[in-house]
Amino acid sequence: MKMFNKIHAEFSGTVNECLIPESEAGVVVRKGQPLFKVTPDEKIYIETEEEKNIRKKAFTKDILSSVK
């Protein structure tokens, strides 16, 4: 029995490649198996702990200065 399930993306982006060939239409896939290669719309930037702490301190100073 064939089942068709909707695929929900975790982020918006552009599909660059389908990893399941069209010749294999109707093939069974496993949970977690990659189906597409996607380029995210927004650039992913990973902060270091130091950068995160600097950003938090600056934000906290800004908030506290507006309270006075």
**Structural domain contains residue 5:** no
- Residue 6 in any domain: the answer is no
Structure tokens at 47: 């902060």
Q: Residue 47 domain-assigned?
A: yes
d(CA 61, CA 18) in angstroms, rounded, equals 47
Nearest by Cα to 8 from 27, 42, 29, 36: 36
Confidence of residue 4 (pLDDT cuts 50, 70, 90): confident
Each residue's pLDDT tens digit, 12-52: 999 999 998 888 777 888 888 999 999 999 988 899 999 99
Cβ atoms of residues 18 and 36 within 8 Å: yes
Does 26 reside within a domain? yes
Between 53 and 45, the higher pLDDT residue: 53
| Residue 8 forms part of a structural domain | no
Closest to 19 (Cα-Cα) out of 7, 31, 32, 37 = 37
Total number of domains in the chain: 1
Long-range pairs of 4-8 with CB within 8 A, sequence gap ≥ 24: 7/35
